[in-house]
Structure 1
Amino acid sequence: MPRTSRPSHQPVTREARPARQPPVEHPRVLAAQLYELHRTAGAGEEYLERWPGDAELYGVLQFAETNASRLADAEAYRQGARLRVMLAEWLRRLADPLQLRAIDDAVSGGVSWDQLALDLRFVGRDGEPTAGSAHNSRSRLYVRVHGQPDDRRQPKVARLIEKRTVDARLARAQVIETEDARYPAMDAAARTLLGHFESGEILGDPDDDFWWSELANVVDDRRDASERANLVVYVRGAVHETYAYARCTDQPPTTTDQARQVLEAAAALVGAAGAGT
């Protein structure tokens, strides 16, 4: 009898893993649900007065663990345990960035990796600190904090993420440099557009002029290169908003030839601005 071949599966690379998403509910909502379980089970009991408050996640977890046996109903006990699981996951996610910054501050402040290994309890059988383990732990923590959900928590992936971050920063710097050089033209286009819009020559949605309002608010407030480069976002939004409303209402976007030329010139200007902003 011929052997049937097993279906082939796409291999998972060593740099990626299935994404691990955070719990759906906000931690305060989970804490409030946990309190309701205890309030229902222990109505009138003094221990409820020790509830730490929905925002104190660590205190909520301690309270819920200490008083778990008070949930006598089996379903309530199971639900309480599940809520504790999800709250603990939120607490871990909130604590990871704090520990990463603490480690980096310690290293930049002159603390050795040997000392950090002792602090983090990375020691060998001989009781000596294993600095490499502490450093690898920091790398995995870096992946958890700065990586994508499907990045594997491995030291080499931390290096890939650091490179990804540097590349993104360099690309953003290039965009800022390019757009800042175009700022005089963008600023002139923004002010001319606003003049025609305010005079009623450029069509606007009377119920939703978000981008025109934003453009008017920011045009006089571009203080540094990043803000000057970002003006293109508001000009593009106002132009797109006008053309979209014109299509929806089957109206021309402008009422005068001069306004039409200004709008078309601005559209051409932002169309050449690139997608990086």
Structure 2
Amino acid sequence: MDAAAVVGELRQLHEDAVDPNVERMPADEEIFGALLYAEKHANALRRLPSEQQRAAALKRVKLWQFLSEQSEVHQARAVNDARAVGAEWQELAPVLAVKAASAAYNKARRLQAAALMEDSPEAEPVRRTPEAVLATEQRRIRQQEAERRAEEAAQQRHHLLMPVAQRLLQHRDSLLLDEDAEYWLDEVAEVLSNCSTPIQTVSLSRYLAAVVRALTNAERHTARPAATTDDARLALAAVAEFVTTEPRSRQSDQSDSPRHDSRR
């Protein structure tokens, strides 16, 4: 949510109501102060129609909810920093407004659920229990390790991948290209022009696999060979052999459809 924009909308309602004190309202970025002002001067909106008064109150609710969620994220990070410099759970108990070290630990784990969602907003919601947070953290560590291994493997194969891709592009005019094959070859050419990082190498491998799938489908549907010259056939065979030996986890998340391009 663009909280500053919502504060700006709230400010506009106060201006529309000719609030005599609106110039004292804190800046849009000062959400907490602006909310305190809006709460204190809510009566100034009585000149507005009831629909606008209701809209202003709902914006305040929305902004307080935003602050509540953000406070948990930042408190979780503060707890992590405190632990990193040696703070014990017993020391954290009073500042977390609990009585025992175990309660401080459990509260910190619940706060961590908010931090995990902030780091990966597209992920599934994390239940606010220590067990659920721990399981989520471990799962993400495994995912990160898998990604790291895939990138390392891609880097090791980089010296083989580049000439294979370049050779296929050299014989592009001798390939049976439909819309999908054209699209993925364009993606190959774009990445190949500046392919230097492990992530780019992984992307290049995926796009080559998509080219092979598209050409195979075109060949099946038209009953015509995907390559019309011997050199093109050899280039395509080299690519097909390369992507066939790629780790399955790196091929499986690439859709046949151009709409699923992970870089866009």
- What displacement does 1:271 show? 5.0
Distance 2:243 2:40 in 1: 60
- What displacement does 1:81 show? 1.6
Indicate how the Cα distance of structure 1 residues 31 and 266 shifts in structure 2: closer, same or farther if over 3 A, else same: farther
Matched residue, 1:259: 232
Q: Which amino acid aligns with 1:33?
A: E
The answer on 1:83 being equivalent to 2:59 is: yes
Indicate how the Cα distance of structure 1 residues 245 and 74 shifts in structure 2: closer, same or farther if over 3 A, else same: farther
Matched residue, 1:160: 135
Work out whether residues 126 and 136 of structure 2, in 8 Å CA contact, stay in contact via their aligned partners in 1.
Answer: no
Q: Mean Cα displacement is larger for which, 176-185 or 159-168?
A: 176-185
1:165-213, CA deviations, whole angstroms, 9 ceiling, x for partnerless residues? 222123223433443443333222222233334xx4457799xx77555
Matched residue, 1:34: 10
Q: Which amino acid aligns with 2:82?
A: A
Candidates 206, 213, 216, aligned match of 1:233: 206
Q: Please report the TM-score for the alignment, with normalisation by the length of structure 1.
A: 0.68
Indicate how the Cα distance of structure 1 residues 69 and 268 shifts in structure 2: closer, same or farther if over 3 A, else same: farther
Candidates 167, 170, 186, aligned match of 2:145: 170
Matched residue, 1:269: 242
SS in 1 for 2:21: helix
1:233-262, CA deviations, whole angstroms, 9 ceiling, x for partnerless residues? 343456667789999xxx986664533542
The answer on 1:58 being equivalent to 2:28 is: no
Matched residue, 2:171: 196
Work out whether residues 202 and 250 of structure 2, in 8 Å CA contact, stay in contact via their aligned partners in 1.
Answer: no
RMSD: 3.8
The answer on 1:187 being equivalent to 2:157 is: no
Matched residue, 2:21: 47
Candidates 121, 125, 136, aligned match of 2:106: 136
Aligned-residue identity in percent: 29
5+ residue gaps, structure 1: 1-24, 125-129
Larger RCO, structures 1/2 (Cα 8 Å, 6+ apart)? 1
Work out whether residues 117 and 131 of structure 1, in 8 Å CA contact, stay in contact via their aligned partners in 2.
Answer: yes
Q: Which amino acid aligns with 2:242?
A: L
Matched residue, 1:96: 72
Q: Mean Cα displacement is larger for which, 237-246 or 134-143?
A: 237-246
The answer on 1:151 being equivalent to 2:121 is: no
5+ residue gaps, structure 2: 118-122, 252-264
Distance 1:49 1:105 in 2: 38
Distance 1:253 1:37 in 2: 64
Q: Which amino acid aligns with 2:10?
A: L
**Structure with more helix by fraction:** 2
Q: Mean Cα displacement is larger for which, 233-242 or 52-61?
A: 233-242
Q: Please report the TM-score for the alignment, with normalisation by the length of structure 2.
A: 0.71
Q: Mean Cα displacement is larger for which, 177-186 or 220-229?
A: 220-229
Q: Which amino acid aligns with 2:94?
A: L
Distance 1:57 1:190 in 2: 52
Distance 2:219 2:57 in 1: 56
Indicate how the Cα distance of structure 1 residues 210 and 95 shifts in structure 2: closer, same or farther if over 3 A, else same: farther
Q: Which amino acid aligns with 2:236?
A: L
SS in 2 for 1:276: helix
Distance 1:230 1:102 in 2: 36
Work out whether residues 183 and 229 of structure 1, in 8 Å CA contact, stay in contact via their aligned partners in 2.
Answer: no
Q: Which amino acid aligns with 2:34?
A: V
Indicate how the Cα distance of structure 1 residues 262 and 90 shifts in structure 2: closer, same or farther if over 3 A, else same: farther
